[in-house]
Homo-oligomer: A and B are copies of this chain.
């Protein structure tokens, strides 16, 4: 496993891997074979958990070379957010990467990524109006900008993102499509603890009591899934679904609700409150953001309704 901290080193390491054939051997007749060599990329903010590991695992299955980046990106954090306290453990992260068979790990410093403050931002409109885009102004511009930079540095064919950050997946897919980036976004399922809590680096902030009460998020979404799969219950309206989720969450005294939204996916558009779940023909997402103390947790459940699966 190669560990690099500079962009020039990263480009070199990826280029050398691309010269290998799909089987890892140096290609004799380079042109055809090198074109077949696929690079899979997993961009993260580190403090890796099994959710990240599942992305690396998927990349390992689908690509010849797996690149992992670890970078806590300042420009996607708001002024009152947790940039300074964000958990970091490089040594443990490298162990996880090694275990998952990652080929190249890129760990740039802030100065390497932003030698000067950036004057360029990538803005995806419309999809960033609701959910975390509304609660965290400027956050997604920070995400799209850093991901575009990383894509330009790594030059991947495939890039893997967890559906825990469903809005992020939708936003990045829009950017890739709109800017004709030659990358395929591969969304991966949410990974959960045994009791249902969605894995997140920020779970480490929770006290024991907050950790217990945070289960209302996954419980409410489990109920949503059960309702959607039940031919009688799925005649519930969007509003009734919302109320069911809200009452489940508010059963926790510590839960401070930022948003509960029921939207189409990936278009992220609202649905008529009186529409029956069974009558909706697009994929739906039920998305939550709830604070426990200072820790903001998000979770979501995607309900597949469309006859044809959207790519994302």
Contacts and interface: CB of A to CB of B under 8 A. Distances in A.
Contact of A122 (B11, B32, B120, B126): B120
Interface in A10-59: 11, 15, 19, 26-35
B27 A31 contact: yes
Contacts of A126: 119
Interface in A86-128: 118-127
Nearest to A28: B29
Task: Sort A-B residue pairs by CB-CB distance and give the 5 closest, nearest first.
Answer: A30-B30, A30-B31, A120-B178, A19-B31, A152-B180
Interface residues of A, number: 38
Interface of A: 7, 11, 15, 19, 26-35, 118-127, 144-145, 148-149, 152-153, 155, 174-175, 178-182
A123 B175 CA distance: 13
Nearest to A118: B178
Contacts of A26: 31
Contacts of A152: 179-182
Contacts of A179: 120, 122, 145, 148-149, 152
Q: Please give the count of copies of this chain that the complex contains.
A: 2
Contact of A119 (B7, B34, B35, B127): B127
B123 A121 contact: yes
Nearest to A10: B180
A182 B122 CA distance: 17
A122 B122 contact: yes
A156 to B, nearest CB: 13
A265 to B, nearest CB: 15
A123 B31 CA distance: 37
A33 B31 CA distance: 9
Contact of A124 (B28, B119, B144, B182): B119
Contacts of A31: 19, 26-27, 30-31, 34
Given A11-B182, A30-B30, A120-B174, 11 more contacts: A15-B35, A19-B31, A30-B32, A30-B34, A31-B34, A118-B178, A119-B126, A119-B174, A120-B144, A123-B123, A152-B179
23 contacts: A7-B180, A15-B35, A26-B31, A27-B31, A29-B30, A30-B31, A30-B33, A31-B31, A31-B34, A119-B125, A119-B174, A120-B123, A120-B124, A120-B125, A120-B174, A120-B175, A120-B178, A120-B179, A149-B178, A149-B180, A152-B179, A152-B182, A153-B180
A49 B182 CA distance: 32
Contacts of A32: 30
A76 to B, nearest CB: 15
